[in-house]
Amino acid sequence: MIGLVIVSHSERLAQGILEMIKMIPNWESRVRIAAAGGLDDGGFGTSYEKILQAIENSASDEGIIILGDLGSSFLTAELCLESLPEELKSLVYISYAPLFEGALTVTSLAVAGAQISEILERLKRMAVATGKLSSEAPQEISVASSSKSALVEVAIPSGFHARPAAMFVKIASKFSSRIKVRNVTRGGDFADAKSLVEVSTKAMAEKGELVEIVAEGDDAKEALSALRELIQSKLIELENTAIADAEVTREEIAVGNRRKQEQVTEARLLFVGIPLFPGIAIGKSILLQHNMYEQPFHPTIPQNFDLKILHNAFETLTKRLHSRKEKIIQLKGKSADYLAAIYEFQISLLNDPKTFAAIVGGVSSGLSLTESVNRFFEKLEHEFENGPSFMKERRADLRDLKMNLLSILTGMDLSVGKEKLSSDSIAIIKELYPSEILSLLEYSISGLVMTDVGPNSHVAILAKMLGIVSVTGVGDEILQIPDGTNVCLDATSGRVLVEPSESALRKMMQKKAILVGKIEASKSESRSTRTRDGKRVEIVANCGPLETVLEAYRNGAEGIGLLRTEFMFLDRQAPPSVEEQAEFFQEVAELSREKPVVVRTLDVGGDKAAPYIQIEREENPFLGVRGMRVYKIYPWVVKQQVEALLRVSGMSNFKLMVPMVSTADDVLWIRNFLEREFGAMPVEFGIMVEVPSIALTIRSVLNYVDFLSFGTNDLTQYILAADRNNPRVQYVYDHLDPSVLKLMKFATEEAHKVGKWVGVCGELASDPLAIPVLVGLGVDELSVVPKLVPNVKAIVADISFRECEKIASHALELSSGREVREFLSKAFN
């Protein structure tokens, strides 16, 4: 505990400050506060007896800080020190920092876990800034023998950033020890490990960088152990499979790649964007806007506000964030866990005492409450902007939190237009936040059109998870149409028709009725899918944990085209036993019965890591040791997986697929290894085609494999030399680029010549615009996330193979992904 004595010439002022300080959450856990205001008879002045009594009431082993308002308050306090016993006198410090701001600083820093030496140093800087000098500054406190430290290499694929930081702070706060953390690689300053504000602005680190954690206190050893494990393993799973699970990998849409509006006969205006969740919506446009971003914002909150206003707003928003987090978790899956972590980050930031203290401090310096809130978050956004690349992507989470806080404080819904929404509305907005898309569900809107939301954003992932018919990237011109305009949204092609003609409207309504009917039928059956002219295309699912397998079959999947196994290996200190793996495979077999199941062997390295599979730090992990390259260093990994698979009863429908194959030598090595260990290849054996080199030399391996499956996410970024997670090259990455399609056509034709089947398990398989092209290229199987199985089945059943062949042939002759998309949008209107 730290003692704090507030000395003022006015009893009313001292008590007022005391009451305001007590509004800081959890103040009583770290601060013992006493007020000494006015004379004994209640008059204006300072009382020796009151100050002495306040010092005794606030006595603490860590020390007592005295703050005063006018010069005589310090003189009286110094007189009191003379009469104190030496053991107590040595613990008292007088600070000349401003009274109100100083009291806030002491309390908020103490609650956050700061040592008294750190607090005094902060007060000294405040005193100097106001033209005063602090009294005798304490000697630097040496590190106690109970102090422990550890250097930890960050293993989290996307780095130690906002969401992992929130979990780090949450764990650190459970320990009584003083804990601090810093980025050693960058030579940064220490951050208070119990303050998300400090950790997320001072201690962020990229994968492979070193962070130092220092803990001082009785449970320092336990704290270090827990935090080390958190950074090295437990946080890894959060990042590894979230985006892949949602099948969203294209980054923010570049301005130069916006689709322009077109003049057409079927509607007054036609916009073309990127589909998120396929479907057709017909309704009236409603434009949604953010007051705080679109126009000046001057709420009427008095300057001398009651601190309870802010405290209550924090409490209300915290409850809302917890509620939203629970709704996301109920959606289940890795993407749900990933998105729930956004709210965990926001909750932690909101509950950080330094957030509250900073906003109150801004008001005390003369800002309005809303100006102070904006100033605080703008400063944080600036810190994120100047941080590592992964921090820049988290700024939307900050803006979301700020928007919601201001909404509560002002009593205004900052998303103007929602009150007009109904079940036949097509919501149109420039930028949307995760909290808003959840609230849109309450209105059961027909569809959603966005202009500035990237297909890899949190909102895009949510739109897919929630099944909202939606497109993005249509261009800002659509924001000019008036509310109540007739709009047809075709999210199977990405087209938005504004004021459609009567014939276009009838055509769209017929298409919607057919699509809805087919989707509903697809959910209740898993019979084979064929095009209108009889071409067989298997529609299977990408799965991981057992619940995703269940969802796939509930939605009519004809099998499992990609069974990920990483979830069994990550987020743990030791690998799963053969028995544990066999038990999972057996459960999948019982659910699948005779349906085909393609098991992908462990795919770690690159963006996925496991603590017991040590891979040296690499400058470019995506071009390093990943996929099957790991097996050459750790052969037991693939050996145990196949051994577990062979223990499954009724596993004749199982197939084995190996990731990250680059050359014919890779194929021969893995096949020879498995045959040495298990004799003749016991199951069908295939490879993922995700490296251009293996696609170009596919003839050399076709005698050794039974099937191919295109991993189009990696294949696209390797062909175009564009990291799909790098916003600076976002305009380059497009899996419909003709170069990608031509390579797929070549490998597919070569495989078919020798009777080998070909599948697609990347994001391309679920892109509504791409499906006709893939069918036209002749692929035999499309594997998508479970939720999209019925939609993809319905799309395939509604197209003609012969027409698709012509369309694919024309697409191959175009010069860019943009041209391909525009052509396909017109072809399937």
Q: Which amino acid is present at 278?
A: P
Cross-strand bridge partners of residue 656 = 599, 685
Distance separating alpha carbons of residues 385 and 62, to the nearest angstrom: 38
Looking at the DSSP bridge assignments, the partners of residue 746 are none
Which one, of 197, 55, 178, 65, lies nearest residue 122 by Cα? 65
Nearest partner of 155 among 608, 471, 461, 806, judged by Cα: 608
State yes or no: is 161 an active-site residue: no
Amino acid present at 728: R
DSSP alpha helices (H): ranges in 22-70? Answer: 48-57
Q: What value, to the nearest 5°, has the Cα angle with vertex 204 and ends 201 and 206? A: 150
* Cβ-based burial of 508 (10 A; exposed 0-12, middle 13-18, buried ≥19): buried
At 316, list the tokens: 């209300």
| CA gap 745, 809 in Å, rounded | 10
For the chain, count helices (H), then strands (E): 33, 26
Q: Catalytic one among 80, 458, 488, 804? A: 458
Rounded Cα distance between 736 and 760, Å, is 13
Alpha helices, DSSP H only, in 697-737? 712-720
AA identity, residue 217: G
Task: Classify the phi-psi angles of 511: left when phi > 0, otherwise alpha if psi is within -120 to 50, otherwise beta.
Answer: alpha
Structural tokens at position 417: 């237009």
Question: Which sign does the torsion angle of CA 769, 785, 655, 527 carry?
Answer: negative
User: Do the Cβ atoms of 710 and 741 come closer than 8 Å?
Assistant: no
Token pair in block for residue 575: 């690998």
Q: Residue 795: which residues within 8 A CB-CB, separation 6 or more? A: 278, 492, 515, 768, 771, 772
| CA distances from residue 250 to 113, 306, 622 in whole angstroms, order as listed | 41, 47, 16
| Vertex 718 angle, CA 716 and 722, to 5° | 80
- The answer to whether 446 and 424 have CB atoms below 8 angstroms apart is yes
Find, among 469, 473, 554, the residue nearest to 508 by Cα. 469
458 catalytically annotated: yes
Helix (H) or strand (E) holding 695: helix 692-696
Sheet strands side by side (includes 178-183)? 147-153, 210-216, 178-183, 191-192
Please give the Cα distance from 562 to 658 (Å, whole number).
Answer: 11
**What Rg value do the Cα atoms of the chain yield, rounded?**
31
Q: Is 474 exposed, middle or buried (0-12, 13-18, 19+ CB in 10 A)?
A: buried
Q: CA-CA distance, 167 to 424, in Å (whole number)?
A: 40
Name the active-site residue from 80, 488, 543, 761: 761
Farthest-apart Cα atoms in the chain, separation: 103
507: which strand partners? none
Sign of the four-CA dihedral 102, 103, 106, 107? negative
What are the E-state strand segments in 208-300? 210-216, 267-272, 274-277, 280-287, 289-290
Residue with tokens 């005193």: 127
Residues with a known catalytic role: 458, 761
